[in-house]
Copies of this chain bind each other. A is one copy, B any other.
Amino acid sequence: MDEDKTTRVTVRNITDLARLAGVSPGTVSRALAGKSLVNTKTREKIEALAREHGFRPNQMASGLRRQKTGVIGVVIPLGHDSRQQISDSFFMTLLGHLADELTREGYDLMLRRVVPEDDADWLDRFIGSGMIDGVIVIGQSDQFDRIEDVADGYGPMVVWGNHTEGQRHCVVGTDNRLGGRLAAERLIAAGATRLAFLGDTTAMEFAARFAGAQDIASRMGLPPIITLPTHLSPDRASEEIAQHLAARASQIDGIFAATDTLAALCLTELRACGIAVPGDMKLAGFDDLPIARQTVPPLTTVRQDIAAGARGLVDLLLRRLAGEKTESLVLPPQLVVRATT
């Protein structure tokens, strides 16, 4: 008769299970958490029962009690440019790798996309929610100062972005300035002398890429690099690129695009204008996304090691979670020469 009851019971919590197993809730908790001191037989019985009833401990309750959630927040601040940074391939790919790394370390990932101008409080709000043990910020956008402010009072935060001398938040990112130098050197080696930078230089990472390119232009005694600002969403960017080309193409013979996405768009517009690449115009991108291999001609670009970036972010975050004070991690960019230079 006991069996009759047993099979019909729904197990909502650890106490129900304990009743079924004829032990106390504490023991069930210990058994299910894989804690040391539980009799093997007792443990097996409890595990069997749990499996049979498809029971798993409530993470919210566990989190509340233990004061840790097992969840890492990942937040993508969308700058001025807000919408449609959405599909920025680079960030999305980084996100995919982050998901893998965090999963492997036993953490869940809580994703938040925020528009800082609508919500000045975005970072504190996320951190203060009590839902996450730590936070990874993907991209500094135009929020450098806000992130700096938070860094003083909150340890478990790591940011993907650009490293600036003396900054207080822990950052992982490619050496953008060096990357910019590599790109410019290559463009010049391929014969370009009048360079342009394609992309919005208010974003720190892009500004550093531009600055690196300018370093080289200056050193070589070339005229200053002109900037061709664009938005990041493909639709607007295409249009803006077309306008830039119409106005400036005759003044330049080399373009350094802030990202491969922009470079690919630019290539399409150049083709539309009848400007030969690399004959009339050299072109270099940044990121080395899959698309860089598929453009016609294939794109010369500066590779960022996305997988290493994700590993770095997670590794540093875990160490900060453990109380360590970590330094920032700056990854080396790598020039990949293909056929547009």
Contacts and interface: CB of A to CB of B under 8 A. Distances in A.
Interface stretch (A84-92, A173-181, A317-325, A332-340): A84-92
The oligomer's copy count stands at: 2
A115 to B, nearest CB: 9
A281 to B, nearest CB: 16
Contacts of A131: 59-60, 71, 108
A183 interface: no
Contacts of A265: 294
B59 A61 contact: no
Interface SS of chain A: helix, strand, loop or mixed? helix
B294 A268 contact: yes
A113 B99 contact: yes
B291 A54 contact: no
A100 interface: yes
Interface stretch (A121-129, A210-218, A247-255): A121-129
A218 to B, nearest CB: 33
Interface in A70-94: 71, 74, 86-87, 89, 92-93
A306 to B, nearest CB: 9
Residue from A86, A111, A293 having most chain B Cβ neighbours under 10 A: A111
A246 interface: no
A301 interface: no
Given A61-B64, A108-B112, A291 B291 contact: yes
The 8 closest A-B pairs by CB, nearest first: A58-B130, A86-B96, A92-B92, A296-B296, A56-B128, A60-B64, A109-B111, A87-B93
